Structures are given as C-alpha cells and as structure tokens.
Amino acid sequence: MRIIISPAKKMKKDLECLPVKQSPQYLEDSQILLSKLQSLSYEALKKIWQCSDAIARPNFENIKNFDSNNNLTPAIFSYQGIQYQMIAPHVFTDSEFDYIEEHLRILSGFYGIVKPFDGVKPYRLEMQAKLSVDKHKNLYDFWGKKLAESLMAETDFVLNLASKEYSKAVTAHLPKNFKVINCTFGQEINDNIKEKGTLVKIARGEMVRFLAENNISNTEDIKAFELSGFQFDSSRSDSHHYIFVK
C-alpha cells in the first residue's frame, strides 16, 4: 500500500529535527523547473503564484537564491498547515516513522513525489500553476506518467488522501485495473454528504496518523478510522470509495 497526500503551501526550514535520509527521486526534474522559475521576472512569478506582494516578494528572493543541496529539511517536517499538524510527526515513535517512510508519498508540483524523509527546501509551486516548461504546457504535462509509474513500481494499491488537483497527476495515468481507494470525509446534510475544507484536511491528517499508529496495510482495517467524530459508512461506500461521515 502507498498513501498519497497533497503538500502544503506553507513550509519551513527545520535544521534541528531528524536528519534527511535521501534526495527526492526526481531532483533533476526539479532543477529544470527551478531554472525556469529563476528565468522569470517578479511580475511573471507573482502571476503564476496568484498571491499578494507580501507573499510574492520573499518567495521571489527564495527562488533566486534557491540551493537544492544544502540546509535541507525532511519533507514531513517541512510542510506546514492543518493536515500536517494533525499528522503530528513530532510525536511519532520510531516504528511510526518507519511506517510513513515506507507507505506515505507526498505529491508536489516542484519535486513531483517525495518520501517523508526526502530532503526539501521551502518553495511555492502548486501542481495546477500555469507554468509552461519547454514543450510542456503545464505541470501535469511536465510530470506526465512519472508519478504514476513511481507508485506502480512500489505497490499494487494506492490509498488516495490527496486533493483532486494533486491526485489527478497520478490517477489519470494509472491502468483501469490498478486498485485505488478514494476517501470522502463529510457531513450528512439533507441526505447528501458535503465536504468542508478544514474538516477534510483535519481528517486526512488524522487518517495518516491512525494508519501509522496501527501499522495498517490492508483495506479492511482502514475502515476502523473514527477520529474527529468520523465513522465509516458502509451503506454509501464501495470497494473503491470509502465514505466517512461525521
């Protein structure tokens, strides 16, 4: 089993946490993206980032001085945000770290796909960013089949906890017979299941922590997730779509 999750916009450098184990698998491709970003003007990057000057200016300086090889942070500690706060890696045991290093994969517009202890630097580049690189019209085209092929080389089953913007970079290239379980975390409103952004991020993070704490590797045990008031809804779920209702 491999679990895929989205990254977070907010990142930090932490040189006092656990050490980096390796470089991201597609670091050479990241260097191509870096060169492209470094060639662009401030205004062009701000348009790609779709953010305010207060956010764009430090990110512009970061890109111009980006060093992919030094002062790196393990990805699981670098990404911030609600999902990663709920994963809470700072309180993991050694066995739980071993679990996520084997099973968890973080999708990234800049790095492609990273393991929890891959060394990364803070960056700003969402998968859906309007960035053309060489003959590639956008990042989905740039990464192509690579991310899906990477996962298929490791496993025959993916648990998808990523957003649609990120998961489609993988699922669009998987064979129809490849097993993927998608998860919905929602509330029942007028007989319909509605997802709310913050609750979904909380649930995805808590699901990762639940899987690691219980060393889960089979589909049936995933259904036991009950954190934050969510429970598996067998009447609405099927073998490829698990629905948890709060």
pLDDT at 152: 97
pLDDT digits (tens, 9 = 90+) for 22-44: 999 999 999 999 999 999 999 99
Instruction: Write out the two tokens for 58.
Output: 């430090």
CA-to-CA distance for 139 and 129, rounded, in angstroms?
A: 7
CA dist list (Å): 41 to 44, 48, 94, 236: 5, 11, 44, 49
Mean pLDDT estimate for the chain: 96
User: Would you list the domain boundaries of the chain?
Assistant: 2-245
Please enumerate in sequence order all residues whose Cβ is within 8 A of that of 207, keeping only pairs 6 or more positions apart, or say none: 161, 183, 225, 227
Closest to 208 (Cα-Cα) out of 241, 185, 234:
185
Instruction: Write out the two tokens for 213.
Output: 């704490």
CA-to-CA distance for 87 and 99, rounded, in angstroms?
A: 13
pLDDT digits (tens, 9 = 90+) for 56-81: 999 999 999 999 999 999 999 999 99
The pTM for the full model equals: 0.96
pLDDT digits (tens, 9 = 90+) for 7-22: 999 999 988 889 999 9
